[in-house]
Amino acid sequence: MPRLTRAARRLAPLGLLLPAVLGLAACKPEEVQSAKPATPVRVGKAELAEYSPAIRLTGEIQARIQSDLSFRVGGRVIERLVNVGDRVSAGQILARLDPRQQQASLTAAEATVAAAEATLQQRSTNYERQKALLVQGYTTRRDHDMAEEAYRTALATLDAARAQLASARDQLSDTVLCAAGAGIVTARNVETGQVVQAARSVYSIAQDGPRDAVFNVYETSMSNGEPSDLAVHLTLVSNPGVTATGVVREVSPTVDTANGTVKVKIGIEKSASEMALGAAVIGEVRFASRQFVSVPASALFSANGGPAVWTVDHQRKVVSLRLVAVESYDSARVLLRAGLRPDESIVTAGTQLLSPNQTVALAEGAAR
């Protein structure tokens, strides 16, 4: 027999053990694989909770009546007497236009009236003479009728001239812009020397009187049902201690295409002096209380970009993902309007480690 080398003698035992190891691995693979342990989770139950939806928005105090004042005639502004923020009284002069053109028209109208009056005086005298001569038989009916016609024409011409004179006087007075009522100037759109057209807005005045709180409300916010109280509670942003109440006075029939909101005006019943024009206020409306399913905020999960929760099958000790619809939420609780029934078991801690049909182990203190 040939003599074995020293290296062959060392590898001989490993050669005898290798077939045995391979045979064991081929016959019983399940004995060498370790079972996946159950994932520990904390479980709770969904509960019913009363919830009264509320809308809280920030708005602005505005005058109920806001007038845009303008000149009735066009011209060049020669004087403006008030600025934004000034308080004005009824009849106070706000601005003036150059009146030379209107003054010329007035002078011409006055001359026309004077000429018409002189013509009427002459035609009236001639007509009276023709009437006297006709009675005495010294004139003809034709001459009498012509004198009467001339007199009546002169009378109508004088009436027309007087109407033009009144119109010229009105146009001259229209070169002076006056406040229609007492209030505060909120906008000024002209400068001295500027040429303005008739009916162009020159000043905006918020008239004294009732005030409104104006809000831009998203249309979806009005789908919470009927409010529990028709009153709208208002709070001054700069001083939360100043409050007031009001009622919905006007809702815009159209949606603002720029931001998708509806303008809502709240008539303030008793406005505090601190709620001045332009002040920011918070308006709150509460709706009737309803019941929703409440779960801890930690139970909320995301599935395909939507909200979901993990439900627990206590008999099989497995979890499954359930899509839900959220009504409202805060830092601690989430209110669901659909997708989950009260008293169903849900995972409240450990959701980030789960997958569908995964076996779980209830952590100490979990609901059963």
Give 278-325 pLDDT, tens digit per residue.
899 999 988 777 888 888 888 888 888 888 888 888 888 888 888 888
Cβ neighbours for 197, distance < 8 A, ≥ 6 positions apart: 74
The neighbour count for residue 138, using CB atoms within 10 Å, is 9
For residue 31, give the DSSP letter: G
Q: What does the alpha-carbon distance between residue 253 and residue 263 come to, in Å, rounded to a whole number?
A: 9
Tokens 């003054």 correspond to 103
The neighbour count for residue 120, using CB atoms within 10 Å, is 21
Cβ 58 vs Cβ 280: under 8 Å: yes
The pLDDT value recorded for residue 27 is 46
Angle at 351 between CA 345 and CA 353, to 5 degrees: 130
The neighbour count for residue 205, using CB atoms within 10 Å, is 25
Q: What does the alpha-carbon distance between residue 92 and residue 107 come to, in Å, rounded to a whole number?
A: 27
Q: What does the alpha-carbon distance between residue 142 and residue 130 come to, in Å, rounded to a whole number?
A: 10
Closest CA to 280 of 188, 204, 216: 216
The pLDDT value recorded for residue 290 is 82
Q: Looking at beta carbons, which pairs linking 74-78 to residues 24 or more positions away fall under 8 Å?
A: 74/195, 74/196, 74/197, 74/198, 75/99, 75/101, 75/102, 75/175, 75/195, 75/196, 76/193, 76/194, 76/195, 76/196, 77/190, 77/191, 77/192, 77/193, 77/194, 77/195, 77/196, 78/192, 78/193
pLDDT in tens, 268-282: 988 777 888 889 999
How high is the mean pLDDT in each 10-residue block of the chain (368 residues)? 46 44 45 60 85 86 93 95 94 96 96 96 95 90 94 96 96 95 94 94 93 88 63 91 91 87 90 85 86 87 86 85 85 85 86 81 58
Cβ 51 vs Cβ 327: under 8 Å: yes
The pLDDT value recorded for residue 256 is 87
Tokens 């806001």 correspond to 66
The pLDDT value recorded for residue 8 is 45
The pLDDT value recorded for residue 113 is 97
> Token pair for residue 84?
């934004």
The pLDDT value recorded for residue 191 is 93
> Token pair for residue 346?
């849900």
> Token pair for residue 257?
């295409």
Cβ neighbours for 151, distance < 8 A, ≥ 6 positions apart: 120, 123, 124, 126, 127
> Token pair for residue 80?
């403006």
The pLDDT value recorded for residue 222 is 64
Closest CA to 215 of 234, 241, 190, 240: 234
Q: What does the alpha-carbon distance between residue 367 and residue 363 come to, in Å, rounded to a whole number?
A: 9
Question: Can you give the pTM of this predicted structure?
Answer: 0.61
The neighbour count for residue 152, using CB atoms within 10 Å, is 13
Cβ neighbours for 92, distance < 8 A, ≥ 6 positions apart: 82, 178, 179
